[in-house]
Amino acid sequence: MRRARRAAFLAASCLASLSLGGCQDLFNAILHSPAPVGVEASDGDYPDRISVSWSAPDLSDESWDGAEVSYYEVEWSWEGGSGSSSHLYSTSYTISSVAEAEEYYVTVAAHLDTGETGSASDSGFAMDAEKLVWASGGSSYTISGERWYETMLQEGFSYRFAFSATGSVAFYPYESLDELHSIGSANAVTWNCDEEGEGSKFYLRVSASGYPATFTASCDYGFGF
């Protein structure tokens, strides 16, 4: 009953919480779970791996009676499968050889010497994005099939992608895989940027037919095409 009340209080607190991770930590703290605190998986920081870090669970409460963490264990899953680490004695881990732009759901479990276990989760992804620049007269790029780019876009400007054959472009906020907008498939596609993105930075996923394909990226600088 007491736990139920705590959980209800928690749910309300979560509404005011700024981040999912912070909310999860709050939950675990109130439920007295020996879960690792501040679990964070990297979002596109590396081209082929995901870095996971966390802090030790808070066992200061007398109910833990001097319990200590024996080891940690990291488990992850993605659309194509799952994996896990061996017993870990540090508070960080690197998931290597991960697929690019694939969301991985990562869970870190703390195993106590009392036999109890607590866990917390986050999601992350690897990203090998090339820098896409908006040079005078347009910048040309060559791709095979699909390629991710990172760039900055000015809200209110229009951006055009002219393909050698046909292609499409999807826009994502920087450090996120939540698609904002996609256009195509056509010989040339234009997006009038109406989003601020994450600090005006974006990921772009460009797909093109033909092998190899080329496209030219150009900006109207607010003058219109």
Partner 1 sequence: MPQLATRPSRALALAGALLFAALAGAPPTAAEPEPRPGGGGPRFGIDAFVGTPSAFGDAFRSVFFGASLRYIVSPNLELSLDYAFMDVGYYYPEDAQGDSWAGPVPWSSMPERYEGMRSSWIFYHTRHFLAPQLWYLAPLDRFELPLALRVGAGPAFSFLVANDAADYYPGLAEAYALFKKDFEAYLGLSLRLGLEYRPGRFWRLGLEYLFIVDSFSGLADDLGRYGFGYVERSGNLLAFVGARL
Binding-site ranges for partner 1 (CB under 8 A): 131-137, 151-152, 154-156, 196, 199-201, 219-224
CB–CB of 67/116 below 8 Å? yes
**Residue (7 or 135) nearer to partner 1, CB:** 135
Q: Which is nearer to partner 1, 119 or 151 (CB)?
A: 151
Distance CA 188, CA 206 (A): 12
CB of 225 to partner 1, least distance (A): 8
Least gap, CB of 140 to partner 1 (angstroms):
14
Pick between residue 24 and residue 151 the one whose CB is nearest to partner 1: 151
Q: What's the CA gap between 27 and 34, in Å, rounded?
A: 11
Q: Which is it for the CA torsion 204, 205, 209, 214, positive or negative?
A: positive
Closest CB to partner 1 among 105 and 134?
134
Report the residue number, 9 or 221, with the smaller CB distance to partner 1: 221
Q: Minimum distance between the CB of residue 149 and partner 1, rounded to whole angstroms?
A: 10
CB of 192 to partner 1, least distance (A): 13
Torsion sign over Cα 219, 221, 222, 225:
negative
Pick between residue 105 and residue 157 the one whose CB is nearest to partner 1.
157
CB neighbours (10 Å) of residue 50?
Answer: 25
Cβ at position 198, least distance to partner 1 in Å: 12
Structure tokens at 111: 């195993």
In the complex, the smallest distance separating the C-beta of residue 181 from partner 1, rounded to whole angstroms, is: 16
Q: How far is CA 118 from the centre of its chain?
A: 23
Instruction: Report the DSSP pairing between strands 139-143 and 213-219.
Output: antiparallel
HSE at residue 18, side-chain half, CA atoms within 13 A, is 0
